[in-house]
Amino acid sequence: MNRTPLLFLNVLIIATCGLVYELIAGTLASYVLGDSVTQFSTCIGVYLSAMGVGAWLSGHIHRGEARCFIEVELGVALLGGFSAPLLFLSFARLSWFHVALYGIVFAIGTLVGLELPLLMRILKKDLDFEDLVARVLAFDYIGALAASLLFPILLVPRLGLVRTSLMFGLLNAAVGLWGTWLLEPQLRGVNWLRARGVLVLVLLSACFIKADIFTTLAEDDLYSDPVVYSTTSPYQRIVMTRSDAGFQLYLNGALQFNSADEYRYHESLAHPPLAASRSRKKVLILGGGDGLALREVLASDGVEQVTLVDLDPAMTNLSEQFPPLAELNRHAFEDPRVTTVNRDAMIWLEENPGRFDIVLIDFPDPNSFSLGKLYTRGFYRLLRRRMMDEAVLSVQCTSPLFSRTAYWCIITTLRAAGFHVHPYHVAVPSFGIWGFALASPVPFDQPQQVPDGLRFLNDEVLQSLFVIPNDLGPLETEVNRLDNQSLVRYYELAWWEDARPGKAASGSTAW
């Protein structure tokens, strides 16, 4: 049997695999670190130089090329195959991501760099040099073409990154195992090699089948766009996805913002109170760990101090360190005027007697009892004691369209706590119609003016936010108290009846 054509098939497969790993690394890097041009360039650079190192190393191998080749294949199968799962896992430790990324890219590159020289030396016994070089390189480039076309068209959309990488690991392992037959005459201890080949195959197949155990992968089904970051903090599951239009942040499965239209939401949360308050020296933000409301506040004149209280350090750290998010909030957490506190807002208010001119509340929707307490009369009364007499407060109040009762329950509760309230709402395409409340301990007028240069708000639009259409009009509700948590029940009922995506859609609650 002439084994040469089969060995060329190997070249093709190896070449495809090699490029796929490179593409995976580049894609993941740009998902997580943003700026795909830089990420792809650095990944390719590291990869190519590592291949050079591999090629150079091959020169130091003088005996047993066949054995080495098979060992290298199994190594690439493992490293390349598990590269995507490993990188996904290292998301949770952002500071390690760079190390893991370039380490893996370098290791795979080195091994891939060893592959072709070794194979060529094996083949050289059957072919003359010119023919060999021509054919090997031709197959190498065909493989590269195949990879670069398959990757975006078929692999990522159909298999996702994790399964793609595992699948190509399987191909590498198959090449290795196959080689134990093709190259049998040149091998010693063939059975042991074969056993290892089978082991690698089994390992990769098991992970391929069970890829769902990587929760991130499972989440790929939950979220409409690819997951680029995910972690589970003691408080919540944090997931970021990326689509063509931008980034999305999910907490416990509930969408918090979409970078494509978040400015509508955050301008509407921040600017009405900034405009309505006499003083804006001291601002308090409760929740809002993404730093986006903070960005709006910091861009306004006259703000001297901002305290941001968010339960979850994982969230505020992410907003500070995760490059795409830090860019979106314009590195708000690095501003010297900002103090970040990681504490339950209610406990923090109890413990800290300072008073503020403006308060922004940006908690997730009241989809659990622990969040529900942050919308109670007891909470608002406590907050009142931390506000100057003429201070102004804005509250995100869930959708008045999908959960109209819940929306008016929050308004009713604010009034029961002694606030004067102007309800308002805004259309945010990613969420739908979104509701807010502007409130103050004293009677106050609706704000008339916002600064120039905002992306969404101008003076006319500001006026229109306070016009309530008939289908969002007031409803009688109970006051949400700590001892009845009516709001959580209204809210659950609404989303139960109308399971639409929105700030609190899928899989969010433990019950």
Partner 1 sequence: MSQPLSRREVIAALLGTPVLLTGCGESAAKNPPLPPGKLVGASAKAGHRTRTHQPPEIADEDWEQVPVVIVGGGIAGLSAARQLSRLERSDYVLLELEPEAGGTSRSGTSPVVDYPWGAHYVPAPGKANAPLVELFREMGLVEGTDEAGEPVYVEEALCRDPEERIFYRGTWYEGRYLAAGASPEDQAQYDRFREEVDRWVAWRDDRGRRAFTIPMSVGSDDSTVTSLDQISMADWMATHGFDSPRLNWLVDYACRDDYGLRSQQTSAWAGLFYFAARTNSAGEESQPLLTWPEGNGRLVAHLRSQSKGEIRTGLTVVDLEPVEHDGRQQVRVKAVPADGGQSVGLIAERVIFAAPRFVGRHVIAPWRNSPPEGLEDFQYGAWVVANLFLRDRPAWRGFPLCWDNVIYESSSLGYVAATHQRGLDHGPTVFTWYLPLCDELPVEARQQLLDGGREIWAEAALAELSLAHPDVRSLVERIDVMLWGHAMILPRPGFLWGGARQQAAEPFRGIHFAHSDLSGLALFEEAFHHGLRAADEVAAALKTWN
Cite the active site residues: 362
Residue 104 to residue 54: CA distance in whole angstroms = 14
Choose the stretch contacting partner 1; rule: CB under 8 A; options: 67-75, 213-221, 456-464, 483-491.
483-491
- Partners of 282 in beta bridges: 305
Considering only residues 440 to 459 of the shown chain, the ones binding partner 1 according to CB under 8 A are none
Give the residue with the Cβ less far from partner 1, 279 or 484. Answer: 484
Choose the stretch contacting partner 1; rule: CB under 8 A; options: 6-14, 182-190, 223-231, 376-384.
376-384
Give the tokens for residue 105: 């890219």
The torsion defined by the Cα of 346, 348, 352 and 357, in degrees rounded to 10, comes to -70
Q: Which of 252, 368, 399, 405 binds partner 1 (CB under 8 A)?
A: 368
CB of 365 to partner 1, least distance (A): 16
Choose the stretch contacting partner 1; rule: CB under 8 A; options: 134-142, 170-178, 319-327, 478-486.
478-486
Which has the closest alpha carbon to 311: 333, 332, 340? 340
Residue 215 touches partner 1, criterion: CB under 8 A: no
Give the tokens for residue 45: 């650079």
Residue 106 touches partner 1, criterion: CB under 8 A: no
CB of 143 to partner 1, least distance (A): 48
Residue 498 to residue 492: CA distance in whole angstroms = 10
Task: Find tokens 């929105």 and name the residue.
Answer: 502
Q: End-to-end distance of the chain based on CA atoms, in angstroms?
A: 64
Residue 409 touches partner 1, criterion: CB under 8 A: no
Give the residue with the Cβ less far from partner 1, 223 or 348. Answer: 348
The torsion defined by the Cα of 308, 312, 314 and 318, in degrees rounded to 10, comes to -30
Residue 511 touches partner 1, criterion: CB under 8 A: yes
Residue 207 to residue 291: CA distance in whole angstroms = 37
Q: Provide the residue count of the chain.
A: 511
Q: Which of 27, 164, 319, 485 binds partner 1 (CB under 8 A)?
A: 485
CB of 75 to partner 1, least distance (A): 37
CB of 317 to partner 1, least distance (A): 17
Q: Which of 40, 102, 106, 369 binds partner 1 (CB under 8 A)?
A: 369
Residue 413 touches partner 1, criterion: CB under 8 A: no
Task: Sketch the per residue contact string, 230 through 249, with partner 1: x for CB under 8 A, - otherwise.
Answer: ----xx--------------
Give the residue with the Cβ less far from partner 1, 27 or 485. Answer: 485
SS3 readout for 269-310: HHHHHHHHCCCCCEEEEEECCCCHHHHHHHCCCCCCEEEEEC
420: number of CA atoms within 13 Å, CB side?
A: 12
Query: With 0-12 CB in 10 A as exposed, 13-18 as middle and 19+ as buried, what is 256?
Result: buried
Give the tokens for residue 446: 């609706």
Contacts with partner 1 by CB under 8 A: the residue count is 20
Binding site residues, partner 1, CB under 8 A: 234-235, 311, 344, 346-347, 368-370, 373, 376-378, 481-485, 510-511
